[in-house]
Amino acid sequence: MSSPPQPVAPHSATQDVTHDLWEDDLRQRYPETPSSGAAAAAEKDEFRDYTSDARAGVREFYRQNHANQTVDFVRAMRARYLPLRHRRMGVWEAMDCLNTLVDDSDPDTEAAQIAHAVQTAEAIRADGHPDWFVLTGLIHDLGKVLCLFGEPQWAVVGDTFPVGCAYSDKIVLPEFFAENPDARVPDYSTACGVYEPGCGLDNVLMSWGHDEYLYQVVGRYLPVAAQYMIRYHSFYAAHREGAYGHLMNDTDREMFAWVRAFNPYDLYTKHDQPPDVARLMPYYRELTARYLPDTLDW
């Protein structure tokens, strides 16, 4: 396997882009209450002209992400982290670790990561969804512990997308793929690239990040629908924009209904009033113990 190319260097003025900035940007791109009719069409036009409004930090984040997420890079990350042998820890230890990654400059993070995880899970529980769905809401972002292993933000968060085939123009800020070396590889330049039509997403290399990593850590313990929610919740080009259907099989199409059902809880449950985590902790500790072992391989 060839070594991954040297990553594109960040521009100094916008070097420190956090996962919270990315999440704020997602809520801007996909507002909670969609408009209809002419208003919806106008909003869609605004999204397609997103490049004119995106904040400098967001643009720089995606410049690095789109330039560096190559086939070789993804293969190198999978070789580095799979099999899982970097650390052994349970869900709650991982949650505590995530709290150390909070950006103090972001007002949305005052309640800390565990509070946001519980907010998401509580919203799912309040709507009467199955307990495995609630658990998925609680743990879905734990793959961000990749930051603890020294990975840059662009290799941990951000919209995910297939590598090894043509980049869809439905991916946010697609013009930055011009800096990606794979854009000049003929085998990767067709709609299917190195894949067969309808091959199924399990056979497609996705850009590396927290989604795939957590799927590999916990997927074996959870229902298939929960696996899809974790593995593809950042694949916005597919579950919100309808791209890459030509690579999906029937199982993917069926399971993406669950990914779409999960998305509003992922985006819109972050609010200023933190939940009473101490009161809720016994329930969530029992819930995690019902599905997951005390210690997981990371």
Angle at 243 between CA 221 and CA 82, to 5 degrees: 35
The verdict on residue 4 lying in a domain is no
pLDDT at 44 over 70: no
pLDDT category, 2, cuts 50, 70, 90? very low
For residue 186, report the phi and psi dihedrals to the nearest 5 degrees: -55, -40
Q: Rounded mean pLDDT of 261-271?
A: 87
pLDDT recorded at residue 7: 57
Asked if the structure places residue 71 within a domain, the reply is yes
How, if at all, do strands 296-297 and 88-89 pair?
Answer: antiparallel
pTM of the model: 0.83
In a domain, 125, yes or no: yes
Please indicate, yes or no, if residue 171 is contained in any of the structural domains. Answer: yes
Domain that holds residue 208: 17-291
Above 50 in pLDDT, residue 208? yes
For residue 3, is it within any domain? no
The residue written with tokens 């909070």 in the block is 102
Counting the structural domains of the chain, the total is 1
Is the residue at 247 inside a domain?
yes
Give the pLDDT of residue 100: 75
CB atoms within 10 A of CB 79: 10
What's residue 6's pLDDT?
52
* Mean pLDDT on 150-172: 96
Give the integer Cα–Cα distance in Å for 296 and 298.
6
Residue 297 placed within a domain: no
Q: Does any domain span residue 9?
A: no
